[in-house]
Each structure stands twice: as C-alpha cells, then as structure tokens.
Amino acid sequence: MIDLRRDGDVFVLRFDAGENRFGPGFLDAAEDALGTLEKNEGPGALVTVGTGKFYSNGLDLDWLGANQDRFEEYLGRVHGVYARLLSLPMPTAAAVNGHAFAGGAMLALAHDFAVMRTGRGYFCLPEVDLGMSFTPGMSALIRARLPRRTAHEAMITGRRYTAEEAVAAGIVQRTAAEEEVLPAAVAWAASMAGKNGESVGKIRRELYRETLDALNGPVFG
C-alpha cells in the first residue's frame, strides 16, 4: 500500500493502493512512514509518488459513508498528515504522476516542491461540485500554498488543471513526461538533501504557523 525506500540521501514514499484514497490503512501506513522520517539524522529529503494514473484522489468517501460517526476523528487524522509534512525536518517534493484530486491535491500542496506529469492527470479541488466545503485547516493550507487568485479559482470553480496550466497558475513548480516525473523530483530532492533538517523544519513551522495551528486545532474550528 505504501512503500518507503531510501536512495542515497533521498527517501521515496510510494503510494500503491489504486486511487490512493485516504482509508484508515493508508493513513496508518503514512503515519508510520512519517514517524520514520522524523527520526532521520543527517542528510535527507523526501519524495512522494503514486502509481499508474493516480497520485491520490483524497478522502475515502466509501469508508466515510459507512462510518459517519467517525467523520471528525477521520478528518483529524488527515489534517495530521498534512501538518506533519509541513513540519517534517527535511525538504519534500511531490512527484505528481497522475490525478491529484481534493485531499490528494492538498497532500501535494503540503510539499516544498512539486513536479507534475504532462499528458495525463489533473490537479483539482472538486469540493464545490460535490456539495462539500473545506475545513478551516484545509482552507488555511490551500491559502498558504497557492497564489490568492489561484486559490479562489480552484476552490470556487473546481477547475481541473493540466500540468502546464498548474505551472502557469503557481500550483506546481515544473512539469515532466511520465517517465521523468519521479527522476525530476528525486533530482530536486537530492540537491536539497544536504540542508540542515532541523533548520528546514523550524523555518516551515514559523512560516506556516497559522496554517499548522488550524490543522492541529479543532477540525471544524
């Protein structure tokens, strides 16, 4: 489901669970991997990547439909993954190999850098079309990581951005062909792995203090 491997100073966290929705098992594995990364000493950087045509489609709506009494607890865990990525004591890059929708799009935004595959896959925040809203923590993350006009358009319209459109909108930093998405993200991560991890984490915690407060606070404010 989730595989964490190390290639030199770069950790590659691969999601391999179909649409990579955030079911309880996926969250368990993500939390375990983040725990390992948080204990890293010395040089290090993280790359996350999906498989096939999906980076991640976000919340597991089927599981939520069957466990509505655990909705707040579940969202708290999702918020926690975003917060731990923002606080991680090493540089991070998302290799967006395919669709990044809703919570999966927000997962990509929680990284320092993102490379998106050309030719297939969209970045999309479709909540408006699903009749859903954003939690205060999710809104804070999106506002902190996207240009204001892009955040407004993405959240209000549910627009699907291609890789080229995502670069132009300031959502991701570069594009690459399918076979180059992961190598491009790994190359960026390797170039940053020598940064002092403790300093990286501290800088992010200060830079995103309000966002982290929202993610770590009550789910519904």
Give the residue numbers annotated as catalytic, written as ranges. 127
Secondary structure letter of residue 161 according to DSSP: E
Q: How far apart are CA 202 and CA 207, in angstroms?
A: 9
Give me the sign of the Cα torsion angle 19, 74, 48, 10.
negative
For 46, list phi and psi in degrees, rounded to 5.
-115, 140
d(C-alpha 150, C-alpha 200), whole Å:
26
- Two tokens at 73? 């607890």
Q: Is 123 helix (H, G, I), strand (E, B) or coil?
A: strand
Is residue 212 within 8 Å of 205, Cβ to Cβ? yes
| Coil, helix or strand at residue 37 | helix
Please report, to the nearest 10 degrees, the dihedral formed by the alpha carbons of residues 84, 87, 91, 95 taken in order.
30
Angle between helices 209-216 and 136-145 (to 10 degrees): 160
